[in-house]
Amino acid sequence: MAVDEKDKSTHVGEVFSSVAENYDIMNDAMSIGMHRLWKKILVELASISDDEMVLDIASGTGDIAKLISREYPNTKIFMTDINMDMLSEGRDRSINESFYKNCHFCQLSGEKMPFKNRTFDLITIGFGLRNFTDKEAGLREMRRCLKQNGKLLILEFSKPTNHLFSKIYDWYSFNILPKLGALLANDSDSYQYLAESIRMHPDQEALKSMIIESGFSECKFYNLLNGVVSIHVAYEK
């Protein structure tokens, strides 16, 4: 069942409220832990300096903020998410796992943000953009909030480059994923949504074009796991 664009934000809200409690365990199960590596690569590619202002959009349970906070304790990190259930999980975790000291928490939509122009040196967003109702508006906001020479890194599901691999991945997504969701989180619908939302998200080249069209002067992307996910790096000049 494809989700009507008009109802998307309500549906996305329900999905993430429903998965919030089991989000981390499901992430590990679905990707066999590979999402941890992908997030580490994102932080490597960000080449952060220790005193930067960092905005992590769609932070959820805070994996990316945690990595940055641990490695760069003098950065100021804004952990943000539209969904209070997900953000609460992230905030609790930051306290339990002691990475809260340089983190600030803010419930907001990445499509319209309350920050002044040119506030951040770095903006990261992991597996969040796909859920936006208006991705172009989100990208324009990210650009507005970046300082000159600032950097945007987007980690997102993308399109496998190999045809055979793509078939196997489709089979896994529509047969195994919802069953895993049912088994581990008693929630197959949310993981059905995940598989569908991935197929509807722009592929690597299309996202790159959207990023450039929203005003970024330069963008390149890196494929991981045959393009199942990609990291787009964009610069604001």
Ligand X SMILES: C[S@@+](CC[C@H](N)C(=O)[O-])C[C@H]1O[C@@H](n2cnc3c(N)ncnc32)[C@H](O)[C@@H]1O
Task: Identify which of 15, 21, 60, 18 has the alpha carbon closest to the alpha carbon of residue 155.
Answer: 60
Residue 197 corresponds to which amino acid?
S
Instruction: Select from 109, 190, 197, 214 the one that contacts ligand X (CB under 6 A).
Output: 109
Does 219 sit near ligand X (CB under 6 A)? no
DSSP string, 58-93: T-TT-HHHHHHHHH-TTSEEEEEES-HHHHHHHHHH
Residue count at the site for ligand X (CB under 6 A)?
Answer: 20
Instruction: Select from 18, 94, 131, 214 the one that contacts ligand X (CB under 6 A).
Output: 131
Instruction: Select from 72, 93, 126, 208 the one that contacts ligand X (CB under 6 A).
Output: 126
Q: Nearest approach, Cβ of 127 to ligand X (angstroms)?
A: 4
Residues in contact with 77: Cβ distance below 8 Å, sequence separation at least 6, in sequence order: 54, 55, 56, 65, 68, 69, 102, 103, 104
Beta carbons of 74 and 102 less than 8 angstroms apart: yes
Instruction: Select from 111, 141, 156, 236 the one that contacts ligand X (CB under 6 A).
Output: 111
Crossing angle of helices 23-31 and 177-185, rounded to 10°: 140
* Per-residue contact string for residues 84-103; x = within reach of ligand X by CB under 6 A: --x-----------------
Instruction: Select from 48, 67, 77, 82 the one that contacts ligand X (CB under 6 A).
Output: 82
Instruction: Select from 46, 48, 128, 236 the one that contacts ligand X (CB under 6 A).
Output: 128
**Stretch of 107-115, 144-152, 164-172, 223-231 lying at the interface with ligand X (CB under 6 A):** 107-115
Residue closest to ligand X, measured at CB: 60
What is the CB neighbour count within 10 angstroms for residue 33?
10
Beta carbons of 54 and 79 less than 8 angstroms apart: no
Q: Nearest approach, Cβ of 53 to ligand X (angstroms)?
A: 18
Does 72 sit near ligand X (CB under 6 A)? no
Cα–Cα distance, 22 to 86 (Å, whole number): 10
Cα–Cα distance, 59 to 65 (Å, whole number): 7
Does 177 sit near ligand X (CB under 6 A)? no
Cα–Cα distance, 78 to 134 (Å, whole number): 22
Q: Nearest approach, Cβ of 82 to ligand X (angstroms)?
A: 4
Does 30 sit near ligand X (CB under 6 A)? no
Does 123 sit near ligand X (CB under 6 A)? no
Considering the complex, state which of residue 132 and residue 221 has its C-beta at the smaller distance from ligand X: 132
Instruction: Select from 43, 58, 68, 146 the one that contacts ligand X (CB under 6 A).
Output: 58
- Here the tokens at position 64 are 């990316």
Under the rule (CB under 6 A), what is the footprint of ligand X?
A: 12, 16, 57-60, 63-64, 81-83, 86, 109-111, 126-128, 131-132
